């Protein structure tokens, strides 16, 4: 199965939600605000790819003030962001895959810059820099992206780095902020062991799901993630589920049986 950092993050957050979202392909509706943020982020990434390819971007900037603000923030910080001249390789939206533990790990780098001395992974974020940077550094994106690059290239681990750029400023004059994560042999081995544990467990859950119809585990009912989860009723983790007629609950259960 092809797995991205998003798959791994959700699998770690709630295996049952992973089942509903990716195996049963059930929609997980977002709020209007969430939908707008996701759409805006997608537009910005598309804009950056267009710009990197040398394609016209002015029509997009004229139509979308938010995009224009983010892009101008990028241009202002570009000398710092793109301080590598004449790289051996530079590509936007660069796709890499690695077969590992019977699964295909998939990553897409917003921008990958390679020179003889170093390999830089750059990632664009359209939200403010988080106060707890340690949470971001422990996310599967921060762990998986350099791991896959290390496993699919000849760069020494210490030559690899990943830098997040946050373009959502609090004020018009505020500069973008960044967070650079270096890489090491210790991090690489920790990620390898973490992947082995997670993928072995996932493979066991997947096998039981496909052969025996056994559902993926649920997180504790007291977990705060359940309170605003769109699958709370389906998982009978909501007071509304208790009010549904027995016939409706039976129908919902039938829908969960894998075909």
**Looking at residue 252, what is its pLDDT?**
35
Q: What dihedral angle (degrees, nearest 10) is formed by the CA atoms of 130, 132, 135, 136?
A: 30
Strand partners for 162: 121, 181
In angstroms, the CA 114 to CA 52 distance is: 15
In the chain, where are the structural domains located? 1-28+185-259, 31-183
Token pair, residue 52, equals 């990197």
| Whether 115 contacts 63, CB under 8 Å | no
In angstroms, the CA 1 to CA 4 distance is: 10
CATH of domain 31-183: 3.90.320.10
In angstroms, the CA 87 to CA 124 distance is: 20
User: pLDDT tens digits, residue range 185-216?
Assistant: 999 999 999 999 999 999 999 999 999 999 99
CB-based burial, 138-171: b 16+ in 10 Å, e otherwise: eebbbbbbbbbbbeeeebebebbebebbbbbbee
Please identify which residue in the block is written with the tokens 């549904």.
244
| Whether 181 contacts 162, CB under 8 Å | yes
**Looking at residue 37, what is its pLDDT?**
85
Q: What residues in the chain have per-residue pLDDT under 70?
A: 28-31, 84-85, 169-174, 238-259
């Amino acid at each position: 199965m092809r797995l991205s950092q998003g798959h791994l993050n959700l699998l770690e957050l709630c295996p049952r939600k992973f089942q509903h979202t990716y195996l049963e392909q059930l929609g997980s509706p977002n709020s209007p605000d969430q939908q707008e943020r996701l759409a805006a982020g997608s537009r910005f990434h598309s804009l950056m790819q267009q710009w990197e390819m040398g394609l016209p971007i002015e029509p997009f900037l004229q139509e979308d003030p938010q995009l224009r603000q983010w892009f101008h923030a990028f241009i202002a910080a570009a000398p710092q962001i793109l301080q590598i001249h004449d790289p051996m390789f530079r590509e936007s939206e660069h796709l890499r895959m690695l077969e590992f533990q019977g699964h295909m790990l998939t990553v897409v780098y917003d921008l990958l810059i390679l020179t003889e001395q170093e390999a830089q992974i750059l990632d664009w974020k359209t939200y403010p820099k988080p106060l707890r940077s340690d949470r971001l550094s422990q996310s599967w994106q921060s762990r998986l992206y350099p791991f896959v690059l290390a496993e699919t290239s000849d760069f020494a681990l210490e030559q690899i780095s990943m830098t997040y750029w946050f373009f959502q400023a609090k004020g018009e004059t505020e500069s973008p902020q960044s967070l650079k994560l270096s890489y090491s042999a210790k991090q690489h081995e920790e990620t390898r062991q973490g992947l082995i544990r997670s993928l072995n467990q996932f493979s066991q859950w997947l096998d039981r799901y496909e052969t025996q119809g056994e559902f993926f585990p649920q997180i504790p009912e007291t977990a705060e993630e359940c309170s605003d989860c769109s699958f709370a009723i389906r998982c009978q983790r909501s007071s509304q589920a208790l009010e549904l007629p027995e016939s409706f609950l039976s129908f919902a259960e039938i829908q969960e049986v894998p075909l």
